[in-house]
Structure 1
């Protein structure tokens, strides 16, 4: 009677799991050794147990095998990445070129060019789009006009307010103008009286003389001759 089929699943019993690990580990190491010996292959085997213990086998130096492994993996990735990148880039360029051609054709159609190949539905679609665009343009134009009118109205209010302030200042200046003129003109000042010229002292003659105009006026009085100086009378 043959053995039953072994179910491959995690062994819950710790002892059984450890025994199975030891047996299969030894068998795996033996198979790796046989493979390297029979086939002249470079074999490296690394095993970590559930407790973190390391088990390894290498037909030659482990570091040299790992170095060859890294070089092989990195060189394969470096050669594959540019090919994939160039392929994706080519697809992206093709997609953008097709989109650009579609947009240019739509622009020419909106300008009324190249309409002959278009069908009735396509022309109707362009017409609806143009009507929608025209309506939006008119709404935007109306909004700009209203905004401009509001701006002018606010500016008008500011100018009116400034004009009122200037008018008030001008009225205040006009009211203060007579008082300012009175201070500047001595003849209009209150209590101002004209006085006769004051006598001046002439050094060396020991006599007071009046100013020349007053003296001439007294000496030219009709009916009098050789007037006597005032200080002798």
Structure 2
């Protein structure tokens, strides 16, 4: 009995393996047929795509009917609308970016102009020596003028020119500033 059951198991396994092998062979034959069909289908699709590409490029139009030409024209117009919409979108983005850069450069330019103006103000500020301020505005300026005898004319400093008796009216220096004698300012306030 034991021999019989082991023999049955061996036969069962043999049948299972032989059945599985037959299935694999049948699948291989089917797959080869499927691969042939798939190849032919893909080959036809490639040929159609190549023909459409040539048609889109304006080639091989002689074999097309009027309806096919109208359909092709409509497809090209639709594609052109999409292309123009994308181009306009990209140009709009580019313009916005350039406007943003322009504003940033304008702000930077305004800051630089402001800095230049401030520097010019600092450079144009009169840099007078301290003794000049003391001489003109200090307490000794009026005492110097008052200590002169009343009948004597005040001395006049003439730098770089010949000595001449000049009237006390205003004179101009090389920069266009009026130079008046010192005593004309101070004497007017003392009743002269």
Q: Shorter-chain TM-score: which interval?
A: 0.5 to 0.7
TM score, norm. by length of structure 2: 0.56
Structure 1 pair 80–189 and aligned structure 2 pair: CA distance change class (3 A)? farther
Structure number with higher strand proportion: 1
Of 76, 80, 85, 1:139 maps to 85
1:160 Cα deviation (Å)?
0.6
What is the CA–CA distance in structure 2 between the aligned matches of 1:81 and 1:176, rounded to whole Å?
A: 96
> Superposition pairs for residues 83-232 of structure 1, below 5 Å?
83-174=29-120, 188=129
Give the secondary structure class of the aligned counterpart of 1:117. coil
1:107-162 per-residue CA deviation (whole Å, 9 max, x = no partner) reads 11122211121111111111212222223323333333222222211110010111
Cα root mean square deviation, aligned:
3.0
Structure 2 gap segments, 5+ residues each: 132-192
Query: Higher relative contact order by CA 8 Å / sep ≥ 6: 1 or 2?
Result: 2
Equivalent residue for 1:80?
26
- Between the two proteins, the alignment pairs up a number of residues equal to 130
Give the secondary structure class of the aligned counterpart of 1:61. helix
Structure 1 gap segments, 5+ residues each: 1-57, 191-233
Structure number with higher helix proportion: 2
Structure 1 pair 188–73 and aligned structure 2 pair: CA distance change class (3 A)? farther
1:77 Cα deviation (Å)?
2.2
1:67 Cα deviation (Å)?
2.4
1:177 Cα deviation (Å)?
5.7
1:60 Cα deviation (Å)?
6.6
